[in-house]
Amino acid sequence: MSLYGCPTPLKSVINTQKVQMELRHLRYFVAVAEELHFGRAAQRLQMAQQPLSRQIRHLESELNVLLFHRTKRTVRLTEAGKAFWQEAQKTLRQAEHAIAVAQQVDRGEAGHLQVGFTGPILNSVLPAIVRQFTERYPDIHLELNRLSTAEQIDALLSQNIQVGLLHPPIDAPSLAQAVIYREPLIAAIPDIHPLAQDLSEPISVKALANEPFILFPRQIGPTLYDAIISFCQQSGFSPTVVQEAFPQQTILGLIASGLGVSLIHASVECIQQRGVVTLPLREITPQLESAIVWSTDTPHPALFKFLEVVQEICSHNPHAPDC
């Protein structure tokens, strides 16, 4: 107690002892503060008046602060009670907001989802997926990370990302995957090359037999790399790889410099690279597969919303397989 028999101010009490309080105590207090009548407040709270009065006295004792002036006919807030009322309302509103946010996140309607992607997927299906997802779920923040397939696998296994858009095959039993897009290979050549003079017809890969090739390093995508080499060999030649480069923009830059040609995924045509011409091939080429991959150990609530959108996008894409 302070001098003159008045209760010690709330701030000093909180500084000297741990106050044990539940949200229900704040709700009881706010009801009485708004009604200024214990009977009406009890009816509003659907409880008896005597337990309500007891809870308010317990709260005052816990805080060591008088919150209400009581007479037989009237109930009114003390100055400390008025201050506590304002803060209690803020606390209850914040608690309600916290509950609503938690429920939204649990339903997969809000929160944070980290997504990995590769360059080819950025040029193909990713823009449509992100656009539709953010329109449908504006309260879910997508954090997009450009990573190689190998980097995405590591990030998924360490839970640094929740979903990956990458290129199979992958060897990770704890990860689920579904192929969402396939695209053929095309020829990319310098615009000063003789083959660039007529763009009206596809060319045969055999026309590139004597050209220097620029390819991505085999460790980036060994399956596709080996398929490209085999494709050329089946056409009667082994490509002379004079330069390995990564990512795709670097490959295109080297082609524009006149250093060689390449066989590259068709969606690269979305990149406007000065000095480079792309041509379709007559032969049936190996395909670059794109897949969505996620962990089955600790699935993120928003992940399933993301999978739904991806399924919708790929099911309407003529180059995508069944999802």
pLDDT at residue 157 in the model: 94
Q: Phi then psi for 7, rounded to 5 degrees?
A: -60, 150
Q: Which long-range contacts (CB under 8 A, 24 or more apart) does 98-105 make?
A: 104/139, 105/301, 105/302
Packing angle, helices 49-63 and 23-35, rounded to 10: 110
Q: Phi then psi for 322, rounded to 5 degrees?
A: -65, 135
pLDDT at residue 18 in the model: 52
pLDDT at residue 115 in the model: 97
pLDDT means per 10 residues in the chain (323 residues)?
39 46 90 94 95 94 93 92 94 88 76 93 94 94 94 95 95 93 96 93 97 95 95 98 94 96 94 93 96 87 91 74 42
Q: How many DSSP H helices and E strands does the chain contain?
A: 11, 11
pLDDT at residue 183 in the model: 95
pLDDT at residue 20 in the model: 65
Asked if 308 contacts 123 with a C-beta cutoff of 8 angstroms, the reply is: no
pLDDT at residue 207 in the model: 97
Going along the chain from its start, the domains and CATH numbers come out as: 3-106 (1.10.10.10), 111-323 (3.40.190.290)
Packing angle, helices 126-136 and 301-315, rounded to 10: 130
Asked if 142 contacts 130 with a C-beta cutoff of 8 angstroms, the reply is: yes
pLDDT at residue 19 in the model: 56
